[in-house]
Structure 1
Amino acid sequence: MILTFLAFLVASGAAASTGAIFKPGPWYDGLRKPWFTPPDWVFPLAWTTIYLLSAWAATRIAQRPEAGPALAVWAAQIALNTLWTPVFFGAHRMAGGMVVMVLLWCAVVATTLAFWRLDAVAGAMLLPYVVWVCIAAALNWRVWRDNPGAGAR
């Protein structure tokens, strides 16, 4: 079981690594942000918690014989999670980031529901992820809306 957890944690680490590669930087610092933007220190704390909970939830699900479809959706959400940062922070594509964010939100909700059907504890472990992706989507939307023309040219 520990090796399974480590495998899911490595996949989460790949997603997290995009945050180290594509940092917000001066471009993002110069954008207008909404009043509900969390302080910078909240982001790594939130994502670390989410990645640990998500990896543990996936580990719980992986123990079940009927886990295949739920884990396929988990793989889709982690791929979309990995994609958002280079699109938004790397390419400065706020609209593209919003598209990825909507798809990510759908995948996270679908993963949560699929996990919940198999193991309520595993599903509940993803609820902070759902909340955080809602906040991230609202931030992406407002930054895009409030900064016309600030994206990639």
Structure 2
Amino acid sequence: MKVIETIKSIIKVITPIIGGKFIGKFAVKNARKDYKKNVKPPFSPPGRVFPIVWPILYITMGAAYALVTNKSDNKTLKGFYYTQLTLNYLWSILYFKYKLRFSALIESIVLLGTVVGTTVKFFSVKKIAGFLLLPYLLWSTFATYLTIGNWFLNKDTSSYTGKNGN
């Protein structure tokens, strides 16, 4: 029985990173080029930072999820977790694949709310799981700032919004 639980935990840890890799191939393939041409708000990191940060965040997300679901099979925890993970992936599709930048901005705010809710729920079940989500919560807050800043600085640029065939 211990082996099965270990395998389930490993799957829970790697699932977000596998999903992130898939989304990266599907939606974010031109992201660096796209990111370079935009006017960026203050404190925007260089594009090379994102592929370093996200795998770490995905692993900590998966580890936190494994910790709370190994202790409890609470459907509310699963609902919060999978909602934020789905919104996380959806943001890249909206922002990079379809250039629906304002939709991505609204979605980013909703995502941040679900990350806050997930973090609070995880803390209530297992404190270490909540702590594991804190970097993701901070990054999501920062990413929302970047999304809002990028939209305000670039919203009238056709290459940013994808209008006029770009």
Contact 1:74 1:111 in 2 (8 A): yes
Deviations for 1:20-74, whole angstroms, at most 9, x for unmatched residues? 3222153332111123111222211211111111101100111123532112100
Deviations for 1:112-131, whole angstroms, at most 9, x for unmatched residues? 00000000000010000000
Residue 79 of structure 2: which of 48, 72, 77 is its match?
Answer: 72
| Paired residue type of 2:8 | T
Aligned to 1:56: 63
Contact 1:11 1:78 in 2 (8 A): yes
- How far off its partner does 1:18 sit? 1.2
Aligned to 2:146: 139
Bigger radius of gyration: 2
For structure 1, the 5+ residue unaligned runs are none
1:89-104 equivalent positions in 2, closer than 5 A: 89-104=96-111
For structure 2, the 5+ residue unaligned runs are none
Aligned equivalents of 1:66 and 1:114: distance in 2?
A: 13
Aligned to 2:20: 15
TM-score w.r.t. structure 1 length? 0.91
Contact 1:54 1:125 in 2 (8 A): yes
Contact 1:77 1:107 in 2 (8 A): yes
TM-score w.r.t. structure 2 length? 0.85
Q: Say how many residue pairs are matched.
A: 153
Aligned to 2:155: 148
Aligned equivalents of 2:130 and 2:42: distance in 1?
A: 31
- Give 1 or 2: higher helix fraction: 2
Aligned equivalents of 2:17 and 2:82: distance in 1?
A: 10
Aligned equivalents of 1:103 and 1:129: distance in 2?
A: 15
Over the residues paired in the alignment, what is the CA RMSD in angstroms? 1.6
Aligned equivalents of 2:151 and 2:88: distance in 1?
A: 18
